[in-house]
Amino acid sequence: MQVLVAVSSRHGGTRELGDQVAQALAARGHEVDQIEPDDVEHVHRYDAVVLGTSVYVGRAGLDLKDLVERQGALLRDRPVWLFWSGPATDEPARVGTPEDVEQVAREVRATATRVFGGRVQPEALSITERSLVALVPVEPGDHRDLSAAYAWGEEIASALT
């Protein structure tokens, strides 16, 4: 099957989770295109879609939300898996899904929504981001489980075949 993977990522951590999902899908024989949300045009070409986003101060990426606004009808018409990354914990599944992400899930009628831990590299943050850190329970470190992302990609691959 033809699968689109589009991930909103400011500092690359969420993109690498998307890379794992894409690799798992490709290893199971699916044709995968990884495209930046802003560059996605031809959703009609795909049998299924994986969307991902980092979350900053409770918000999903604007580029992802723009994509959903532009291509909502086509996305609703095919299976969409949605993931988000953010929580600074090794048990991200215990963290509630932000309302903004829930809204994206509703708009695309997501088959499933999955959370992965996040990665915060203080030296990579912009001045604005540094000033926002005090508002959210964010800690430096890498809480991403890349093998869990790969395994999730395998689950999606199985669901598609």
**What are 94's two structure tokens?**
């215990």
Token pair belonging to 76: 């609703």
Closest listed residue to residue 113, CA positions, set 131, 100, 126:
100
Q: Kindly report the CA angle at 111 between 57 and 48, in degrees rounded to 5?
A: 105
Q: Is 1 a residue that touches ligand FMN (CB under 6 A)?
A: no
Give, as ranges, the residues between 34 and 63 that touch ligand FMN (CB under 6 A).
54-58
Of 87, 100, 110, 156, the residue at the interface with ligand FMN (CB under 6 A) is 87
Using CB under 6 A as the binding rule, the residues of this chain from 94 to 153 that contact ligand FMN are 118-120, 125, 129, 132-133, 136, 138
Binding region for ligand FMN (CB under 6 A) out of 13-21, 37-45, 63-71, 152-160: 13-21
Residue (79 or 98) nearer to ligand FMN, CB: 98
Nearest to 22 by CA among 34, 40, 14: 34
| Min separation Cβ 105 and ligand FMN, Å | 15
Instruction: Tell me the Ramachandran region of residue 137: left when phi exceeds 0, alpha when psi lies from -120 to 50, beta otherwise.
Output: beta
How many Å from the N-terminal Cα to the C-terminal Cα in the chain? 8
User: How far apart are CB 81 and ligand FMN at their closest, in Å?
Assistant: 17
Nearer to ligand FMN, 10 or 28 (CB): 10
- Residue nearest to ligand FMN according to CB distances in the complex: 86
**Min dist. Cβ of residue 95 to ligand FMN (A):** 6
Q: How far apart are CA 103 and CA 94, in angstroms?
A: 19
Query: 142 with 15: CB under 8 angstroms?
Result: no
Nearest distance in Å: CB 70, ligand FMN: 21
CB distance 30 to 160 below 8 Å: yes
Site residues for ligand FMN per CB under 6 A: 9-15, 54-58, 85-87, 118-120, 125, 129, 132-133, 136, 138
